[in-house]
Amino acid sequence: MYNTLLGINTSMSFVIGSPCVGCKDTKCVEVCPVDCFYEGPDMLVINPDECIDCALCEPECPVDAIWSDDELPPEQIPFIEINTRMADIWPNITETKEPMAHASPYSLEEAIVIGEKHVEDEEQ
């Protein structure tokens, strides 16, 4: 659940981070038993309210873009909000499709800017 006071998601879930941005491999979606992946133009996000923390998706991602939120590297923390916010906006995805690229072409900083821009665009 998203805690508006803390500005973070306070229940356990998995989070998609920067290596997905511009890669969008989509192998992760096929193993999810609750279909809680959502697709943006250049990345996927996980709905933290729907994720049951089964951990099946984490090893499926070839670029290691998925973390449990309690193991999230500090530099990936901006993606908690990006996942939480955009999962309410973007359409559900349940089937693998052609990746955008074999790896993200962006630096961590660039990927965060891209992710945060999606959130900002929704707020306008």
- Footprint of ligand SF4 on this chain (CB under 6 A)? 14, 31-32, 34, 36, 46, 51-57
DSSP label of 22: T
DSSP label of 63: T
CA distance 24 to 109: 17
**Residues between 11 and 40 that touch ligand F3S (CB under 6 A):** 16, 20, 23-28
- Binding track, positions 35-54, relative to ligand F3S; x by CB under 6 A: ---------x----------
Beta bridge partners of 9: 2
Least distance between ligand F3S and beta carbon 109 (Å): 18
Element (H, E) at 79: helix 78-86
112 binds, among ligand SF4, ligand F3S, none (CB under 5 to 8 A by kind): none
Backbone torsions φ then ψ of 3, nearest 5 degrees: -95, 110
Q: Which residues of this chain interact with ligand F3S, rule CB under 6 A?
A: 16, 20, 23-28, 44, 60-61, 63, 65-66
